[in-house]
Structure 1
Amino acid sequence: MIHFVLLISRQGKVRLTKWYSAYSHKERSKVIRELGGIILNRAPKLCNFVEWKGLKVVYKRYASLYFVMCIDQDDNELETLNIIHHFVETLDRYFGSVCELDLIFNFHKAYYILDEILLAGEVQETSKRSTLRIIAAQEELVEIAKEQASSISNIIAQATK
C-alpha cells in the first residue's frame, strides 16, 4: 500500500501531497521536513530507496522535482518506481512536456490525474489513454457547468433590470 505521495522541488518546496494513511497536520509537516532533508541531501548516484520508520520510501528525480512514495516494508520497490514513472508519463502527455510551473499553476489537474491512477493507496488505472480520456471528460463537464452558470447569471441580471 502507498501511504503518501509527495512532489518536492530541488529547493525543498512541496508541490503536491496526497495522504492515504492517517497523519495529523503536525505529523505531516514533520514527515515532509524529515524526508525532504533525507532525499535532497542524498547523492545522485545512490539508490532511490530509503528505509524510514519501518516503511520504505521510493523516490525518483525528474528535472527539478522529486516524486516520492512511501510504501509498506514488504511492497515491491521496482513496482513503485514503475508507478511513479507511469504518473510522470501521464502528466507529460497531458501537459506536453510537464514542468514544475505546470504543477504549480494547474495543481488541481495533477491531483485529478493522481486520483485516477491511485485509489486509497493502491493502483487503480494503468492505462494512460484511459486516464487522459477521463480527465478530458471531466474538463468538458467543468466547461459545461461554467457555461450554464454564466447563462443563469445572465438571466438573473436581465430579470433584475
Structure 2
Amino acid sequence: MIHFVILISRQGKVRLTKWYSPYQQKERSTVIRELSGLILSRGPKLCNFVEWKGYKVVYRRYASLYFCMCIDPDDNELEILEIIHHFVEILDRYFGSVCELDLIFNFHKAYYILDEILIAGELQESSKKAVARLIAAQDSLVETAKEEAGSISNMISQAI
C-alpha cells in the first residue's frame, strides 16, 4: 500500500501531497521536512529507495521535481517506480511535457489525474488511454459548467 505521495522541487518546496494513511498536520509537516532533507541530499547515482521509519520511500527525479511514494517494507519497489513513471507519462500527455509550473497553476488537474490512477493507496487504473478519456470527460464537464454559469450571469445582468 502507498501511504502518501509527495512531489518536491529541487529547492525543497512541496508541489503536491496526497495522504492515504492518517497523519496529523504536525506529523505531515515533520514527514515532509525529514524526507525532503533526506532525498534532496542524496547523490544522483544512488538508488531510488530509502528505508525510513520502518517504511520504504521510493522516489524518482524528473526535471526539477522529485516524485516520492512511501510504501510498506514488503511492497515491490520496482512496481512503485513504474507507478511513478505512469503518473509522469500521463501528466506529460495531458500538459505536453509537464513542468513544475504546470503543477503549480493546475494543481487541481494533477490531483484529479492522481486520483484516477490511485485509490486508497492502491493502483486503480493502469491504462493511459482510459485515464486520458476520463480527464477529457472531466474537462468537457468543466467547460459546460463554465458556459452555463456564464449564460446565467448574462441573463441576471440583463434582467437588472
**Cα offset for 1:151?**
0.9
* In 2, Cα distance between equivalents of 1:55 and 1:14: 20
* In 1, Cα distance between equivalents of 2:49 and 2:97: 26
Q: Which stretch of structure 1 is more off in the superposition, 143-152 or 26-35?
A: 143-152
**Cα offset for 1:156?**
1.5
Report whether the alignment pairs 1:67 with 2:62. Answer: no
The aligned amino acid for 1:36 is S
**Where does structure 2 lack aligned partners over 5 or more consecutive residues?**
none
Q: Give 3-state SS (helix, strand or coil) of 1:58's partner.
A: strand
Per the alignment, residue 3 of structure 2 pairs with 3
Measured against aligned partners, the alpha-carbon deviations of 1:61-84 in whole angstroms (never above 9, x if no partner) come to: 011100000001110000000000
**Cα offset for 1:150?**
1.0
Identity, in percent, stands at 80
Over the aligned positions, Cα root-mean-square deviation in angstroms equals 0.6
Runs of 4+ in structure 1 displaced over 2 angstroms? none
**Where does structure 1 lack aligned partners over 5 or more consecutive residues?**
none
Q: Normalising by the residue count of structure 2, what TM-score does the alignment of the two structures yield?
A: 0.98
Q: Normalising by the residue count of structure 1, what TM-score does the alignment of the two structures yield?
A: 0.98
| TM alignment of 1:1-161, pairs within 5 A | 1-160=1-160
* In 1, Cα distance between equivalents of 2:55 and 2:40: 18
**Cα offset for 1:126?**
0.3
* In 1, Cα distance between equivalents of 2:155 and 2:93: 39
**Cα offset for 1:102?**
0.9
